[in-house]
Structure 1
Amino acid sequence: MAGSTSKTAKSTDYQFFTVWRVAGTLEEVTDVLGNAGTLAKWWPSVYLRVTPLDPGSADGTGKSFDLHTKGWLPYTLRWRLTVTEPITTHGFALTAKGDLNGTGRWTFETDGPEVVISYDWRVSTAKPLLRRLSWLLKPAFSANHHWAMARGEESLALELRRRRSGTAPGRVPDPPGPTFAWLARR
């Protein structure tokens, strides 16, 4: 189950630290999380649209994608993800620019048959709605993030099972879809 904590400075600043545990190998986790172009396929509850912009270098640095995302609440975010450190089996770092601005760092380590995945996400809201209401609705916006990350852990576990299932991928359930699906069409 996803575990998260948060600390904040200004009402528009958010800091989340999430830990996932999934059955798999470092290589499998790196292959999925290091390929942002597939986010809408395996994590559709959050990633509505992913548009590749820059393929970056061979180690992943400079890879860039425009993202249209959402959580449980009925609003969406548009932002650009850019990989800022090499993608390795130990993790990688990224920046966010747009409706969210800040940094994220994925860290991977093996624990027996599982991979422990940590995500340190430090962002400030730039979307006018979120900036205006953050002082009042910060707990709801934080809960929205925790919901999104719990769907990510669930969806990643399903994607790893699907990739290992070989010739019978239909035996693995589909990942959860977005709430308020009408927003995905906007």
Structure 2
Amino acid sequence: MGDSKSSTDYEFLTVWRVAGTPREVMDILGDAGTLARWWPAVYLTVEQLDPGNPDGTGKSFFLHTKGWLPYTLKWRLTVTEPVIEQGFAIAAQGDLNGTGRWTFEQDGPETVVTYEWKVSASKPLLRRLSWLLKPAFAANHRWAMARGQEALALELRRRRLGADLSKIPQPAPPTFTLRRRLPWISS
């Protein structure tokens, strides 16, 4: 790509603060197979493709994801660095191609969760419209990550010893669940 970035290249830095330890956060975020259960606003389908190695590397999943906007993305997530209490890294391949890095740092009773996401959009809809709608696509990512912080906080509460599950709300569901496909929003 050279020195100039394409209109289809995206770089995001997201920082969350959640009540919990880095180990608790690692146990949740490091287990991609559970994403559709606890982060359903974004993860519509998660299918394990490769069990990977004991340290988590090589583990891969097919993901069908969405944000607030009415389009979906299909991509493969592969863990590229061991899943440890300090974080881990992933690679994306499909409608999104690139890398992501999660880091976890204890700060008192909270963990600071940082996510660096560097991807290029290859889905035809995004490639065609990125030059015009890049700010909307970036806002869509921020919306998805905000739902992630909310959902992670809820999942941490659910996993606490003695938690009264009846008092913990369910995570936000997906938006715009279309019953029929529109030709300009091909999944």
Q: Does 1:37 align with 2:38?
A: no
Cα offsets for 1:62-92 (capped at 9, x unmatched): 0000000000000000000000000000000
Aligned to 2:78: 82
**What is the CA distance between 1:167 and its match in structure 2?**
5.5
Aligned to 1:119: 115
Matches within 5 A, 1:141-180: 141-164=137-160, 166=162, 168-180=164-176
In structure 1, C-alpha distance between the alignment counterparts of 2:84 and 2:93, rounded to whole Å: 23
In structure 1, C-alpha distance between the alignment counterparts of 2:58 and 2:18, rounded to whole Å: 27
> Which letter maps to 1:119?
Y
TM-score, length-normalised on structure 2?
0.92
Cα offsets for 1:34-71 (capped at 9, x unmatched): 00000000000000000001111110000000000000
| Cα distance change on mapping 1:169 and 1:45 into 2, 3 Å | same
* Structure 2: gaps spanning 5 or more residues: 182-186
Aligned to 2:24: 28
**What is the CA distance between 1:25 and its match in structure 2?**
0.7
Aligned to 1:17: 13
> Which letter maps to 1:135?
W
> Which letter maps to 2:116?
D
**What is the CA distance between 1:170 and its match in structure 2?**
1.9
Contact conserved, 1:48 with 1:184, CA < 8 A, in 2? no
Contact conserved, 2:24 with 2:156, CA < 8 A, in 1? yes
Contact conserved, 1:74 with 1:183, CA < 8 A, in 2? no
**What is the CA distance between 1:26 and its match in structure 2?**
1.1
Once the two structures are aligned, what percentage of the paired residues are identical? 70
In structure 2, C-alpha distance between the alignment counterparts of 1:167 and 1:105, rounded to whole Å: 30
TM-score, length-normalised on structure 1?
0.93
Aligned to 2:45: 49
**What is the CA distance between 1:182 and its match in structure 2?**
2.6
* Structure 1: gaps spanning 5 or more residues: 1-7
Aligned to 1:91: 87
Structure 1 vs Structure 2 CA RMSD: 1.6
Aligned to 2:56: 60
Cα offsets for 1:83-129 (capped at 9, x unmatched): 00000000000000000000000000000000000000000000000
In structure 1, C-alpha distance between the alignment counterparts of 2:59 and 2:82, rounded to whole Å: 10
> Which letter maps to 2:56?
G
Query: Larger Cα Rg: Structure 1 or Structure 2?
Result: 2
Contact conserved, 2:157 with 2:163, CA < 8 A, in 1? no
Aligned residues: 179
